[in-house]
Structure 1
Protein backbone atom coordinates (compact mmCIF):
# COMPACT_ATOMS: atom_id res chain seq x y z
CA UNK A 1 0.00 0.00 0.00
CA UNK A 2 1.30 3.47 -0.91
CA UNK A 3 0.09 6.37 1.18
CA UNK A 4 0.91 9.96 2.04
CA UNK A 5 3.19 10.27 5.08
CA UNK A 6 1.23 11.86 7.93
CA UNK A 7 2.56 15.17 9.25
CA UNK A 8 3.04 13.74 12.75
CA UNK A 9 5.12 10.81 11.45
CA UNK A 10 8.90 10.95 11.36
CA UNK A 11 10.53 11.00 7.94
CA UNK A 12 11.79 7.56 6.88
CA UNK A 13 15.32 8.95 6.79
CA UNK A 14 16.88 5.49 6.43
CA UNK A 15 15.05 5.12 3.09
CA UNK A 16 15.47 8.71 1.92
CA UNK A 17 19.25 8.54 2.43
CA UNK A 18 19.44 5.51 0.13
CA UNK A 19 18.60 7.78 -2.82
CA UNK A 20 20.26 10.98 -1.60
CA UNK A 21 23.25 10.94 0.78
CA UNK A 22 22.77 14.57 1.88
CA UNK A 23 20.55 14.74 4.97
CA UNK A 24 20.58 18.54 4.67
CA UNK A 25 19.15 18.45 1.14
CA UNK A 26 16.65 15.71 2.02
CA UNK A 27 15.32 17.73 4.95
CA UNK A 28 15.07 20.81 2.72
CA UNK A 29 13.03 19.30 -0.08
CA UNK A 30 10.85 17.14 2.17
CA UNK A 31 9.65 20.31 3.92
CA UNK A 32 8.63 21.75 0.53
CA UNK A 33 7.22 18.56 -0.99
CA UNK A 34 4.87 15.73 -0.10
CA UNK A 35 6.33 12.42 1.04
CA UNK A 36 4.68 9.11 0.11
CA UNK A 37 5.59 5.75 1.62
CA UNK A 38 5.10 2.18 0.49
CA UNK A 39 4.30 -0.25 3.28
CA UNK A 40 4.61 -4.03 3.34
CA UNK A 41 3.78 -6.02 6.45
CA UNK A 42 3.29 -2.74 8.39
CA UNK A 43 6.87 -1.66 7.59
CA UNK A 44 7.90 1.30 5.43
CA UNK A 45 9.95 -0.21 2.61
CA UNK A 46 9.70 2.46 -0.10
CA UNK A 47 9.44 6.21 -0.44
CA UNK A 48 9.15 9.05 -2.92
CA UNK A 49 8.61 12.79 -2.71
CA UNK A 50 6.56 15.00 -5.05
CA UNK A 51 8.00 18.50 -5.12
CA UNK A 52 6.18 21.35 -6.91
CA UNK A 53 8.78 23.29 -8.93
CA UNK A 54 7.01 25.61 -11.39
CA UNK A 55 3.40 26.30 -12.31
CA UNK A 56 1.84 23.04 -13.55
CA UNK A 57 5.09 21.12 -12.95
CA UNK A 58 6.06 18.71 -10.18
CA UNK A 59 9.32 16.86 -9.69
CA UNK A 60 9.52 13.28 -8.50
CA UNK A 61 12.48 13.20 -6.15
CA UNK A 62 14.06 10.56 -3.97
CA UNK A 63 12.56 7.29 -5.16
CA UNK A 64 13.98 4.62 -2.86
CA UNK A 65 13.26 1.03 -1.86
CA UNK A 66 14.75 -0.82 1.10
CA UNK A 67 17.56 -3.01 -0.27
CA UNK A 68 15.98 -6.13 1.26
CA UNK A 69 12.98 -5.58 -1.07
CA UNK A 70 14.85 -4.95 -4.34
CA UNK A 71 13.85 -6.98 -7.38
CA UNK A 72 10.15 -7.10 -6.52
CA UNK A 73 8.93 -4.30 -8.80
CA UNK A 74 8.39 -1.89 -5.92
CA UNK A 75 10.42 0.91 -7.53
CA UNK A 76 8.22 0.73 -10.62
CA UNK A 77 5.13 0.68 -8.40
CA UNK A 78 6.32 3.87 -6.67
CA UNK A 79 7.09 5.67 -9.93
CA UNK A 80 3.75 4.74 -11.51
CA UNK A 81 1.94 5.83 -8.34
CA UNK A 82 3.74 9.18 -8.45
CA UNK A 83 2.73 9.71 -12.09
CA UNK A 84 -0.90 8.91 -11.25
CA UNK A 85 -0.81 11.15 -8.17
CA UNK A 86 0.65 14.07 -10.15
CA UNK A 87 -1.99 13.65 -12.84
CA UNK A 88 -4.79 13.56 -10.24
CA UNK A 89 -3.44 16.72 -8.65
CA UNK A 90 -3.71 18.52 -11.99
CA UNK A 91 -0.05 18.85 -12.92
CA UNK A 92 0.74 19.03 -16.63
CA UNK A 93 4.34 17.80 -16.38
CA UNK A 94 6.26 15.51 -14.05
CA UNK A 95 10.04 15.67 -14.05
CA UNK A 96 12.72 13.47 -12.54
CA UNK A 97 16.48 13.61 -12.37
CA UNK A 98 19.07 10.93 -11.72
CA UNK A 99 22.81 10.57 -11.73
CA UNK A 100 24.68 9.80 -14.93
CA UNK A 101 25.74 6.41 -13.50
CA UNK A 102 22.25 5.26 -12.49
CA UNK A 103 21.72 2.79 -15.33
CA UNK A 104 19.00 0.87 -13.48
CA UNK A 105 17.16 4.09 -12.61
CA UNK A 106 17.42 5.40 -16.17
CA UNK A 107 15.97 2.13 -17.49
CA UNK A 108 13.16 2.16 -14.92
CA UNK A 109 12.14 5.75 -15.60
CA UNK A 110 12.06 5.19 -19.37
CA UNK A 111 10.02 2.00 -18.94
CA UNK A 112 7.52 4.14 -16.99
CA UNK A 113 7.23 6.62 -19.87
CA UNK A 114 9.79 9.31 -19.01
CA UNK A 115 11.85 10.83 -21.84
CA UNK A 116 15.28 12.39 -21.46
CA UNK A 117 15.24 16.15 -21.83
CA UNK A 118 18.62 17.48 -20.69
CA UNK A 119 21.81 17.00 -18.71
CA UNK A 120 22.73 19.29 -15.83
CA UNK A 121 26.50 19.09 -16.11
CA UNK A 122 28.48 18.90 -12.84
CA UNK A 123 25.27 18.95 -10.72
CA UNK A 124 26.64 16.52 -8.15
CA UNK A 125 29.99 18.31 -7.98
CA UNK A 126 28.22 21.61 -7.23
CA UNK A 127 25.69 20.31 -4.68
CA UNK A 128 27.50 17.56 -2.76
CA UNK A 129 30.64 17.97 -0.68
CA UNK A 130 31.74 14.33 -0.91
CA UNK A 131 32.14 12.41 -4.19
CA UNK A 132 29.37 9.88 -4.88
CA UNK A 133 30.05 6.62 -6.73
CA UNK A 134 27.48 4.26 -8.22
CA UNK A 135 28.15 1.19 -10.35
CA UNK A 136 31.86 2.00 -10.12
CA UNK A 137 31.32 5.39 -11.80
CA UNK A 138 31.53 8.80 -10.16
CA UNK A 139 28.15 10.54 -10.17
CA UNK A 140 28.87 13.90 -11.78
CA UNK A 141 25.99 14.94 -14.05
CA UNK A 142 22.21 14.94 -13.48
CA UNK A 143 20.20 13.38 -16.31
CA UNK A 144 16.80 15.08 -16.48
CA UNK A 145 13.67 13.30 -17.75
CA UNK A 146 9.99 14.21 -17.94
CA UNK A 147 6.48 13.13 -18.93
CA UNK A 148 3.72 15.37 -20.26
CA UNK A 149 0.63 14.36 -18.30
CA UNK A 150 -2.03 15.77 -20.61
Structure 2
Protein backbone atom coordinates (compact mmCIF):
# COMPACT_ATOMS: atom_id res chain seq x y z
CA UNK A 1 0.00 0.00 0.00
CA UNK A 2 1.72 3.15 -1.25
CA UNK A 3 0.53 6.33 0.48
CA UNK A 4 1.24 9.80 -0.86
CA UNK A 5 1.70 12.67 1.61
CA UNK A 6 1.05 16.19 0.28
CA UNK A 7 1.49 19.33 2.36
CA UNK A 8 -1.62 21.50 2.04
CA UNK A 9 -2.25 25.13 2.94
CA UNK A 10 -6.00 25.21 2.32
CA UNK A 11 -8.44 22.80 3.94
CA UNK A 12 -11.28 21.41 1.86
CA UNK A 13 -14.57 20.29 3.40
CA UNK A 14 -13.29 16.71 3.09
CA UNK A 15 -10.12 17.58 5.07
CA UNK A 16 -12.23 19.33 7.73
CA UNK A 17 -14.54 16.36 7.99
CA UNK A 18 -11.63 14.03 8.78
CA UNK A 19 -9.96 16.46 11.19
CA UNK A 20 -13.24 17.06 13.05
CA UNK A 21 -13.79 13.30 13.36
CA UNK A 22 -10.55 13.17 15.35
CA UNK A 23 -11.09 16.50 17.16
CA UNK A 24 -14.65 17.89 17.35
CA UNK A 25 -13.56 21.49 18.09
CA UNK A 26 -13.48 23.54 14.87
CA UNK A 27 -11.89 26.39 16.86
CA UNK A 28 -8.96 24.19 17.95
CA UNK A 29 -8.61 22.61 14.50
CA UNK A 30 -8.49 26.07 12.89
CA UNK A 31 -5.90 27.22 15.43
CA UNK A 32 -3.42 24.38 15.05
CA UNK A 33 -3.82 23.98 11.28
CA UNK A 34 -3.01 27.70 10.97
CA UNK A 35 0.13 27.32 13.11
CA UNK A 36 1.21 23.83 12.01
CA UNK A 37 2.01 21.78 8.93
CA UNK A 38 -0.93 19.88 7.47
CA UNK A 39 -0.52 16.87 5.18
CA UNK A 40 -3.23 15.05 3.30
CA UNK A 41 -2.75 11.32 2.87
CA UNK A 42 -3.77 9.83 -0.47
CA UNK A 43 -4.15 6.22 -1.57
CA UNK A 44 -4.66 5.87 -5.34
CA UNK A 45 -5.67 9.56 -5.47
CA UNK A 46 -8.31 9.04 -2.75
CA UNK A 47 -8.11 11.07 0.45
CA UNK A 48 -7.72 8.52 3.26
CA UNK A 49 -6.22 10.63 6.03
CA UNK A 50 -4.86 13.91 7.35
CA UNK A 51 -2.08 14.68 9.82
CA UNK A 52 -1.11 17.98 11.45
CA UNK A 53 2.41 18.51 12.82
CA UNK A 54 3.23 21.41 15.12
CA UNK A 55 6.66 22.50 16.38
CA UNK A 56 6.00 23.14 20.08
CA UNK A 57 9.35 23.58 21.83
CA UNK A 58 12.92 23.63 20.59
CA UNK A 59 13.65 20.23 19.08
CA UNK A 60 10.11 18.95 19.77
CA UNK A 61 7.42 18.23 17.20
CA UNK A 62 3.86 17.38 18.21
CA UNK A 63 1.37 15.37 16.20
CA UNK A 64 -1.72 17.42 17.04
CA UNK A 65 -4.19 15.58 14.81
CA UNK A 66 -4.07 12.30 12.94
CA UNK A 67 -7.24 11.19 11.20
CA UNK A 68 -8.01 8.22 8.98
CA UNK A 69 -11.23 7.99 6.99
CA UNK A 70 -13.56 5.43 8.64
CA UNK A 71 -13.62 3.28 5.48
CA UNK A 72 -9.82 2.91 5.68
CA UNK A 73 -9.33 2.34 9.40
CA UNK A 74 -7.80 -0.85 10.79
CA UNK A 75 -5.65 -1.27 7.67
CA UNK A 76 -2.34 0.07 9.01
CA UNK A 77 -2.76 3.57 7.60
CA UNK A 78 -2.63 5.23 11.04
CA UNK A 79 0.67 3.50 11.75
CA UNK A 80 2.07 4.64 8.39
CA UNK A 81 1.00 8.21 9.14
CA UNK A 82 2.82 8.07 12.50
CA UNK A 83 5.91 6.66 10.73
CA UNK A 84 5.72 9.56 8.24
CA UNK A 85 5.63 12.03 11.17
CA UNK A 86 8.63 10.33 12.82
CA UNK A 87 10.53 10.46 9.52
CA UNK A 88 9.69 14.14 9.13
CA UNK A 89 10.92 14.83 12.66
CA UNK A 90 14.20 12.98 12.04
CA UNK A 91 14.83 14.74 8.69
CA UNK A 92 14.25 18.11 10.34
CA UNK A 93 16.50 17.46 13.36
CA UNK A 94 13.84 17.21 16.04
CA UNK A 95 14.90 15.22 19.09
CA UNK A 96 11.46 14.15 20.26
CA UNK A 97 7.95 13.78 18.93
CA UNK A 98 4.87 14.07 21.13
CA UNK A 99 1.24 13.16 20.80
CA UNK A 100 -1.80 13.49 23.04
CA UNK A 101 -4.90 11.35 23.01
CA UNK A 102 -7.97 10.76 25.09
CA UNK A 103 -7.78 8.51 28.12
CA UNK A 104 -10.67 6.53 26.60
CA UNK A 105 -8.98 6.25 23.15
CA UNK A 106 -7.94 2.66 23.70
CA UNK A 107 -6.98 1.82 20.11
CA UNK A 108 -4.86 4.94 19.75
CA UNK A 109 -3.13 4.38 23.10
CA UNK A 110 -2.29 0.84 22.03
CA UNK A 111 -0.93 1.98 18.65
CA UNK A 112 1.26 4.76 20.06
CA UNK A 113 2.76 2.51 22.75
CA UNK A 114 3.29 -0.26 20.17
CA UNK A 115 5.32 2.31 18.24
CA UNK A 116 7.50 2.98 21.33
CA UNK A 117 5.84 6.21 22.50
CA UNK A 118 5.95 6.44 26.29
CA UNK A 119 3.35 8.05 28.53
CA UNK A 120 4.78 11.25 30.00
CA UNK A 121 1.77 12.76 31.70
CA UNK A 122 -1.94 13.33 32.05
CA UNK A 123 -3.75 16.61 31.42
CA UNK A 124 -6.55 16.12 33.93
CA UNK A 125 -9.97 17.37 32.75
CA UNK A 126 -8.47 18.63 29.45
CA UNK A 127 -11.55 17.70 27.43
CA UNK A 128 -13.94 19.13 30.04
CA UNK A 129 -12.14 22.51 29.96
CA UNK A 130 -11.50 22.81 26.20
CA UNK A 131 -14.70 21.40 24.68
CA UNK A 132 -18.19 22.80 25.15
CA UNK A 133 -19.91 19.49 24.38
CA UNK A 134 -19.40 16.29 26.34
CA UNK A 135 -17.45 13.69 24.33
CA UNK A 136 -18.40 10.04 24.70
CA UNK A 137 -15.91 7.38 23.60
CA UNK A 138 -16.03 3.64 24.18
CA UNK A 139 -19.03 4.15 26.47
CA UNK A 140 -17.19 6.60 28.74
CA UNK A 141 -17.17 10.37 29.14
CA UNK A 142 -13.82 11.62 27.85
CA UNK A 143 -12.18 13.80 30.50
CA UNK A 144 -8.39 13.45 30.49
CA UNK A 145 -5.69 13.71 27.82
CA UNK A 146 -2.81 11.23 27.95
CA UNK A 147 0.48 12.74 26.73
CA UNK A 148 3.07 10.49 25.07
CA UNK A 149 6.57 11.10 23.72
CA UNK A 150 9.06 9.31 21.52
CA UNK A 151 12.70 10.37 21.74
CA UNK A 152 14.42 10.06 18.36
When the two structures are superposed, what TM-score results if normalisation uses the length of structure 1? 0.94
Question: Which runs of 5 or more structure 1 residues have no equivalent in the other structure?
Answer: none
Contact persistence 2:9–2:38 (CA under 8 A): no
TM-score, with length taken from structure 2: 0.93
Are positions 1:30 and 2:50 aligned together?
Answer: no
Question: Among 142, 145, 148, which residue is 1:145 paired with?
Answer: 148
User: Which structure 2 residues correspond to residues 45-84 of structure 1 after superposition, within 5 A?
Assistant: 45-84=48-87
- What is the distance in 2 between the residues matched to 1:121 and 1:8? 33
TM superposition shift of 1:121: 0.3
TM-superposed deviation, 1:143: 0.2
Q: Deviations over 1:81-131 (max 9, x none)?
A: 111111111111100000000000000001111000100100001100001
Question: Residues 66-105 of structure 1 correspond to what in structure 2 (within 5 A)?
Answer: 66-105=69-108
Once residues 148 and 113 of structure 1 are traced to their aligned partners in structure 2, the CA distance between those partners, rounded to angstroms, is: 9
Match of 1:2 in 2: 4
Give the deviation of 1:41 after TM superposition: 2.4
1:3 Cα deviation from its structure 2 partner: 1.6
8 Å CA contact 1:4–1:34 kept in 2: the answer is no
Deviation at 1:8?
A: 4.9
Unaligned stretches of 5+ residues in structure 2: none
Q: Please give the alpha-carbon distance, in whole angstroms, between the structure 1 residues aligned to 2:27 and 2:11.
A: 19
Misfit runs of 4+, over 6 Å: none
Find the partner of 2:110 among 92, 107, 112. 107
